[in-house]
Amino acid sequence: MKFLTPYESPVYFIYIAIAFIPIIIQLLRGKRIIWYQNLVTLFFLYISFGGVNRFQGIAIILYVVWQVLLGAAYFRYRQKKNNSWVFYGTVLAGIAPLVIVKVAPIWQINPTFIGFLGISYLTFKAVQMIMEIRDGIIKEFHIGRYIQFLIFFPTISSGPIDRYRRFEKELTTAPTQNKYFELLSKGIHNIFLGCLYKYILGYILGAQLLPYVKEFAINQGGVSLGVLAYMYVYSLYLFFDFAGYSLFAVGTSYLMGYETPINFNKPFLSPNIKEFWNRWHMSLSFWFRDYVYMRLMFTLMKKKVFKSRITTSNVGYFALFLLMGVWHGLTWYYIVYGLYHALLICINDAWLRFKKKHKEQIPSNKFTQAFAIFITFHAVCFSFLIFSGFIGTLIGFPMR
């Protein structure tokens, strides 16, 4: 048995092609075979979290048990009461394993006893569940469906982050034959496009060009054409590598008859930074928008913490992107990356307010649209240069 990280090798797709034959045949007949799907899920989890990764496998089992007990207990509590502190405590308990994994390296503690590939994405799903139980949106807590939602293997390592209600609806209802033909076609297309992104463009940019421009930039030193080249190559590599993984996950989900949301939609063609976040890692940005930003804004406005709505909004952006930076890791460049994006969005909002007041004087045409895309692209690429930590390497600043 060959143990593999999801989508890391063509062998993984050979396993998918063989294992999915009964699933595809039954879905073409308009039926879903849940017991076989569960068997396939266990197989793919085993080849990803077994063998040398067996400690991750034990960690994920313990993690799922913990989240299921937590979700079930809170659902039972929520049927009778709705104390805010119990809700906050449950959310904190839900994110505690992820916090331990993120914080442990600071004290040079090895977190492998609790960490596993994809713990962030499972935590997003689990916290989302607790919040929707509190909102009263989740009317029924079905342990089996919740476990299947958490460990849905096509998206377990790097998303996209699905929503429970959408997933549960498709879990209990097979798509029509016409709908599945459409999903099957799109799924195959996504997997082949993912191969182009990940194995060809991502490889050329990441394994061939990136080391070369990195050495070129270091040899030049300081602000130079080498740094500019590194910024472009790293940004494109980041996109094609991650978008490739997402296409694999979405494509595999489609083959199983699940319409998992897409994660990228031509983000480098965005005319402003808000539009960029509506197109880049969409499931993550929408998750932070719905479960962090909107709730924080509601609380700040309800308690009238700030008099100005603009101040409230800007504080919300900085809190949101600071959290997002910390989530990436407790290093200075991730935190600066988050704050930089908050600043960009605040500037963007100020510009839109100015533009609205002076719309008669400010032209709007194809040239200004292209210029907006050019500016946004470079602002985003600079953020990825920060994100890469390469600036620290250049100036000799500690990586942490």
What string of pLDDT tens digits covers the 400 residues of the chain?
678 889 988 899 999 999 999 999 999 999 999 999 999 999 999 999 998 888 999 999 999 999 999 999 999 999 999 999 999 999 999 999 999 998 887 776 666 667 899 999 999 999 999 999 999 999 999 999 999 999 999 999 888 999 999 999 999 999 999 999 999 999 999 999 999 999 999 999 999 999 999 999 999 888 889 999 999 999 999 999 999 999 999 999 999 999 999 999 999 999 999 999 999 999 999 999 999 999 999 999 998 999 999 999 999 999 999 999 999 988 999 999 999 999 999 999 999 999 989 888 888 899 999 999 999 999 999 999 999 999 888 877 665 5
The pLDDT of residue 81 is 94
The pLDDT of residue 222 is 80
Q: Are 141 and 71 in contact, with CB atoms under 8 Å apart?
A: yes
AA letter at 353: R
* Token representation of residue 6: 């999801």
The pLDDT of residue 363 is 84
What pTM, to 2 d.p., does this model score? 0.93
Q: Are 122 and 150 in contact, with CB atoms under 8 Å apart?
A: yes
378 is catalytic: no
Q: Are 296 and 316 in contact, with CB atoms under 8 Å apart?
A: yes
Domains of the chain, by residue range, sit at: 33-173, 178-256, 267-395
Which one, of 258, 83, 230, 40, lies nearest residue 160 by Cα? 258
The pLDDT of residue 274 is 95
Q: How far is Cα 264 from Cα 163, in angstroms, rounded to an integer?
A: 17
CA–CA distances in Å: residue 185 to residues 93, 180, 255, 307, 382: 41, 8, 9, 53, 37
Q: How far is Cα 399 from Cα 200, in angstroms, rounded to an integer?
A: 30
Q: How far is Cα 122 from Cα 333, in angstroms, rounded to an integer?
A: 25
The pLDDT of residue 112 is 64
The pLDDT of residue 393 is 83
Instruction: Given the residues 328, 341, 358, 378, select the one marked as catalytic.
Output: 328
How would DSSP label each residue in 233-290?
Answer: HHHHHHHHHHHHHHHHHHHHHHHTT--PPPS-S-GGG-SSHHHHHTTSSHHHHHHHII
Handedness of CA 184, 185, 186, 191 (dihedral sign): positive
> Distance of alpha carbon 255 from its chain centroid, rounded?
21
- H helices then E strands: how many in the chain? 19, 0
